[in-house]
């Protein structure tokens, strides 16, 4: 990945923002007088960048996560506060980070940095029992979230999304065969399999539930990146996690099936901890995410990785009802 765009770091270096951070550190967070701030870019996209922000104060060093956005995200902090109060706070087995502050003038969110390792690292590098345990904790967290988290944010409207999915299909088709025929077939099957609104029991949705967004912190399982919270079919979050594990298997281990044991552990834990039918539409959302990932492999990667895209389209077709 290329270096983070300097404009994001420049926001966090503004004297007025640092003055506000120092004020909160001393008066609200009980960390003492701010002496110095250290920044390290962790992950970035076109419209946002995530930093580790370490604050050195008179009482020690405090690590936080700072997210700089291109657009206003003032809803994220109250959303996180509400979710924490619903049973996902600091002492809970299944938790989210503590949000610390949002600065609308700079579009910056600051939250707790949760200690621990990501489920992604355990899934890729742990032994079989460690992988299974990590996957089970991810499934249990998601089931708990879908069961009790308040329904906040904008409802996802699948019926209005097919114009965007058609754009993905057309972009993939532009790479010629065998992609054109496969993506056309997959798109038609997605249209036929789309769940009716009347059959969807919408729940709180995470929006990007993947292994790297789950932190295993001793006995606590903490999920980060609540920026895309919405109200959606719970099957979507389940499918995202499953396909993300398959992608790790494909890109890191060379085979889409290399982590099938992890997928099975995750699904078993989710199903055991959730109500009947919570993932009733998972096949549709897995098909959709296969199309999405194939499009990213061809359109977003430089150079394109045609082999990965072909595997994802084949997987989507395998899942699709004839």
User: Which of 93, 118, 117, 82 is closest to 229 using CA atoms?
Assistant: 82
Which pLDDT value is given to residue 85?
96
119-to-101, 132, 175, 214, 263 alpha-carbon distances in Å: 26, 11, 34, 6, 13
Task: Give the model's pLDDT for residue 268.
Answer: 97
Enter the pTM of the model.
0.94
Instruction: Provide the pLDDT for residue 156.
Output: 72
**Burial group, residue 205, by CB count within 10 angstroms (0-12, 13-18, 19+):** buried
Cis peptide before 311 (omega within 30 of 0): no
Parse the chain into domains and list their residue ranges: 6-112, 117-319
Q: Which residues contact 47 (CB under 8 A, 6 or more apart)?
A: 69, 70, 71
SS3 helix, strand, coil % of the chain, rounded to 5?
Answer: 50, 20, 30
Q: How far apart are CA 42 and CA 50, in angstroms?
A: 6
Q: Which CATH class is domain 117-319?
A: alpha beta
pLDDT along the chain (322 residues), means of 10: 78 95 96 95 91 96 96 95 96 96 98 96 97 98 97 77 93 97 97 88 94 96 95 96 98 98 98 90 96 97 97 96 70
- C-alpha of 91 from chain center: 23
6-112 placed in CATH 2.60.120: no
Task: Give the per-residue pLDDT at 74.
Answer: 95
Res 2: pLDDT: 57
- Vertex 25 angle, CA 19 and 26, to 5°: 95
């Amino acid at each position: 990945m290329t270096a983070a765009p300097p404009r994001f770091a420049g926001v966090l270096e503004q004297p007025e923002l640092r003055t506000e951070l120092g004020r909160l550190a001393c008066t609200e967070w009980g960390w003492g007088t701010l002496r110095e701030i250290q920044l390290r870019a962790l992950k970035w996209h076109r419209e946002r960048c995530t930093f580790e922000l370490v604050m050195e104060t008179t009482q020690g060093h405090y690590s936080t996560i700072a997210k700089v956005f291109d657009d206003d995200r003032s809803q994220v902090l109250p959303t996180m506060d509400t979710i924490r109060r619903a049973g996902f706070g600091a002492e809970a087995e299944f938790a989210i980070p503590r949000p610390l502050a949002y600065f609308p003038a700079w579009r910056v969110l600051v939250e707790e940095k949760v200690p621990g390792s990501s489920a992604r690292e355990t899934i890729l590098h742990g032994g079989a029992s460690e992988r299974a345990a990590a996957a089970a904790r991810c499934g249990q967290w998601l089931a708990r979230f879908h069961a009790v988290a308040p329904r906040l944010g904008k409802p996802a409207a699948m019926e209005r999304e097919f114009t965007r999915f058609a754009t993905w299909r057309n972009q993939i088709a532009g790479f010629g065969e065998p992609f054109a025929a496969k993506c056309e077939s997959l798109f038609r099957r997605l249209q036929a399999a789309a769940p009716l609104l009347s059959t969807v029991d919408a729940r709180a949705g995470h929006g990007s539930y993947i292994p790297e967004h789950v932190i295993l912190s001793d006995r606590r399982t903490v999920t980060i990146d609540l920026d895309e919270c919405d109200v959606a079919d719970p099957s979507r979050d389940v499918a995202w996690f499953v396909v993300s594990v398959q992608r790790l298997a494909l890109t890191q281990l060379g085979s889409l099936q290399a982590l099938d044991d992890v997928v099975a552990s995750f699904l078993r834990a989710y199903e055991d901890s959730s109500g009947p039918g919570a993932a009733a539409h998972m096949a549709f959302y897995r098909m959709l995410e296969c199309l999405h990932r194939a499009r990213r492999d061809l359109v977003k990667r430089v150079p394109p990785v045609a082999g990965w895209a072909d595997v994802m389209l084949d997987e989507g077709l395998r899942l699709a009802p004839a």
